[in-house]
């Protein structure tokens, strides 16, 4: 019976999760925060796409901005992390789960 109060208190500490969506759904000019990188082996490219993205700097908590979508089918998707610009194909961008970046307040 001692486990029940611990479970109740743990449930009270849960914070709501912001709405998440894939990077391929982000509009040009929008800034988002990386929530998670999904693993997945690419039959076309070989290797783990998620691992490759992590190695490039797509890490949880990092903010990025979509700066352009290509004309034919919206590919590639150009994104900027810091001062570096990357071009991702849609299937790669689908492995990046993001959430809307919090708006920073202005200092008085």
Q: How confident is the model at residue 8 (pLDDT cuts 50, 70, 90)?
A: very low
Nearest alpha carbon to residue 86 among 107, 64, 105: 64
CA 47 to chain CA centroid, Å, is 20
Mean per-residue pLDDT over the chain, rounded = 80
pTM equals 0.72
Between 39 and 89, residue with greater pLDDT: 89
- Give the per-residue pLDDT at 39: 81
Q: How confident is the model at residue 97 (pLDDT cuts 50, 70, 90)?
A: very high
Domains of the chain with CATH codes: 13-100 (2.30.30.90)
| C-alpha radius of gyration, the chain, whole number | 18
User: CB within 8 A of 68, min separation 6: which ones?
Assistant: 28, 77, 78
- In 8-103, beta strands by DSSP E: 20-22, 31-37, 63-69, 77-81, 84-88, 96-100
Alpha carbons 38 and 51: distance in angstroms, whole number = 9
- Give the per-residue pLDDT at 15: 45
Task: Say whether pLDDT at 99 is over 90.
Answer: yes
Q: What is the pLDDT of residues 18-70, one digit of tens each?
A: 689 999 999 999 999 999 998 877 666 667 888 899 999 999 999 999 999 99
User: CB within 8 A of 16, min separation 6: which ones?
Assistant: none
């Amino acid at each position: 019976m001692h486990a029940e109060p611990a479970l109740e208190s743990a449930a009270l500490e849960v914070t709501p999760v912001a709405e998440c969506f894939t990077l391929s759904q982000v509009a040009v000019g929008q800034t988002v925060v990386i929530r998670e990188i999904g693993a997945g082996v690419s039959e076309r490219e070989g290797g783990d796409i998620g691992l490759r993205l992590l190695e490039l700097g797509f890490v949880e908590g990092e903010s990025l901005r979509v700066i352009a979508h290509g004309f034919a089918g919206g590919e590639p998707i150009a994104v900027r992390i810091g001062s570096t610009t990357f071009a991702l194909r849609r299937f790669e961008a689908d492995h990046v789960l993001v959430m809307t970046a919090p708006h920073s307040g202005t200092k008085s």
